[in-house]
Chains A and B, each alone.
Chain A
Amino acid sequence: EDQVTQSPEALRLQEGESSSLNCSYTVSGLRGLFWYRQDPGKGPEFLFTLYSAGEEKEKERLKATLTKKESFLHITAPKPEDSATYLCAVQLKSQGGKLIFGQGTELSVKP
């Protein structure tokens, strides 16, 4: 069964305290892995796409990496405005390339 698991469910950081979010997956065929940010009451905002093991993408304080079994979203020196829920999604090679989402990690950054 295709499955995506994110950890931790919630993470509280002090401003400037770097950390990582994990996304582990078990799927029959991976086309790509996506990271999104979702603010309360809003739709997810696209951050990154990763396609192959060893690939890395960066955007401001965020860096996403991919291995054959998991992906990490590293947050360096976070600011309060980075507070949001971060969603990981796996795109399958089959079934029309639909996305399977993890449960998300709710990040809170305190000043």
Chain B
Amino acid sequence: GAVVSQHPSWVICKSGTSVKIECRSLDFQATTMFWYRQFPKQSLMLMATSNEGSKATYEQGVEKDKFLINHASLTLSTLTVTSAHPEDSSFYICSAREGANQPQHFGDGTRLSIL
């Protein structure tokens, strides 16, 4: 149980392109979803927290107009990287949580490379 699916797993695109990443909870309803960024050999850095039907809460230093988050249902959240540039290249990971006292379950991440 507690499976989180993230798609796509790998994307390469040109600078200036917008990229959408999907995160789905497959066998539970996620009241809260989280988006992280991870650099090589480093730990996970929280970008934003989203609750179904509400606007996302962004961490300090994360541009909300750059990283658009939509949490339209209890099983789906999307992250759109708008007008991506090479410095946006990274490993993006989502997680989903059924309730406040439940653990976060993670997707397998999306490797984003901007040329």
Contacts and interface: CB of A to CB of B under 8 A. Distances in A.
A, B in one complex: yes
Interface in B46-64: 46, 49, 57
Interface residues of B, number: 23
Nearest to B99: A97
Contact of A44 (B44, B49, B100): B44
A45 interface: yes
A93 B32 CA distance: 15
Interface in B19-57: 32, 34, 42-44, 46, 49, 57
A34 B95 CA distance: 14
Contact of A87 (B43, B57, B103, B107): B43
Interface stretch (A11-19, A58-66, A73-81, A101-109): A101-109
A4 to B, nearest CB: 9
A41 B6 CA distance: 13
Contacts of B95: 43
Interface string A39-52: 00111111001000
Contacts of A98: 34, 46, 49
Interface in A29-44: 31-32, 34, 36, 41-44
B35 to A, nearest CB: 11
A101 B44 contact: yes
Contacts of A99: 34, 46, 104
